[in-house]
Amino acid sequence: GDPSQNSGKVVRYDTKGGFADPGSYAMYDAGETAGLGSKCYDGACFDGRYVYLAPLAAGENEGIALRLDTEGDFSSPQSWAAMDGKPVGLSTCVGAVFDGRYIYYVPYAHSVAVRYDTLGPFEDPESWEAYNAADTTGMNTKGYDGGCFDGRYIYYMPFHEGENSRDGFHCRLLRYDTMKGFDDPAAWDAADG
């Protein structure tokens, strides 16, 4: 509602209902999940059970990953989990990608890519890892907006490097080879579009 405030309100649409029918929608305020100030998200992905929301917020709400268990009650706090990802390198993101095991958070206006291993507990820092992809292939590789998975590679879609609001837009593609270690520089590639 208020554009000057970060919101934790999440809206769910029931696809069996009418798209324009207000009764097809439910809202839940997840803004204080686990007491972490889980507010301001941009993009999400689904792993077959959980929905992962990508944290966009900067400042006090920065790096708070949020997850919904779709097998639980949407309006129950027990269906929601939050993780303070700042200690593992999670910052502002736009979008998340699932490759069948890992959730990749797409770095917005910075170069640190973070992923979560869905085989581990969501709140456990040991289930998370980060890689600073800056200067991949000798390019300024930072600032992405969404991504996709083709069965082998995670592609990060170029957007804005965050340094200059007018000139910071770029078209340097970044990709990660999921057949190699996340922290292996040889697993990362860039191309100037």
**The pLDDT value given to residue 60:** 86
**The pLDDT value given to residue 170:** 80
Judge whether 103 and 90 are in contact, CB under 8 Å: no
Distance from CA of residue 110 to its chain's centroid? 13
pTM of the model as a whole: 0.94
Q: How far apart are CA 93 and CA 62, in angstroms?
A: 9
pLDDT per residue as tens digits for the range 22-34 = 999 999 999 999 9
Closest C-alpha to 94, from 70, 81, 110, 83? 110
Q: How far apart are CA 190 and CA 132, in angstroms?
A: 13
Tokens of 165: 């609001």
Tokens of 64: 């708070």
pLDDT per residue as tens digits for the range 150-192 = 999 999 998 877 766 667 778 889 999 999 999 999 999 999 9
